[in-house]
Amino acid sequence: MMSSVNAAPLTMESGGRVVSRAEFDSSEAWGLLTSIDMQGCDPDTIRSKEAIGAFTATACDRLGVTRFGPAQIVRFGASPEIYGYSMVQLIETSLVSAHFAETTNAVYLDIFSCKWYDAAAVVEFAMAFFKSTSVRIHTCLRR
């Protein structure tokens, strides 16, 4: 699968794949988990609490999920390797979370929901929003 955003490939982890709606429905899985690792992200965007908040709200809207309370967005880290914002957004069907690593301009985004969502569409939106130059994803069914 290729992404049209920045012409970067959607690289699957070993054993990883994008789960289709039909596969999700027929599996009787409890939920769907997608881990998205983006590199080469825009430094200004990942260092902006306001931008991260806007991304979170729009991503939840695109996922078709209901947010439960406000997103928690906190900047911290005892060492430079891990310093940056972390975000947690509870949703009625589970949660969306991310860490924004400032020293490497990377974003580590996780989406877990008991409701199916289009993982590839979320990846493309996130890549465009954070202006990522490459991405690695892993999607799996939770049983």
From residue 69, give the alpha-carbon distance in Å to each of 50, 55, 72, 92.
Answer: 16, 16, 9, 10
Q: Tell me the average pLDDT across 114-133.
A: 94
**C-alpha neighbours within 13 Å on the C-beta side of residue 102:** 15
| Percent share of the chain, pLDDT over 70 | 88
This prediction's pTM: 0.87
86 confidence band (pLDDT: 50, 70, 90): very high
Q: What angle do CA 56, 79, 40 make, to 5 degrees?
A: 50
Give per-residue pLDDT as tens, 53-66: 999 999 999 999 99
| Mean residue pLDDT across the chain | 88
For the chain, the structural domain boundaries read 10-142
Q: Tell me the average pLDDT across 32-53.
A: 97
Candidates 129, 135, 128; CA nearest to 106 is 135
Find all residues with CB under 8 Å of 61, minimum gap 6, and list them: none
Which of the 8 DSSP states describes residue 115? S
Report the C-alpha gap between 82 and 36 in whole angstroms. Answer: 17
Give per-residue pLDDT as tens, 96-114: 999 999 999 999 999 999 9
Q: Tell me the average pLDDT across 15-40.
A: 87
- Domain spanning 10-142: CATH 3.60.90.10: yes
Residue whose structure tokens are 């569409």: 121
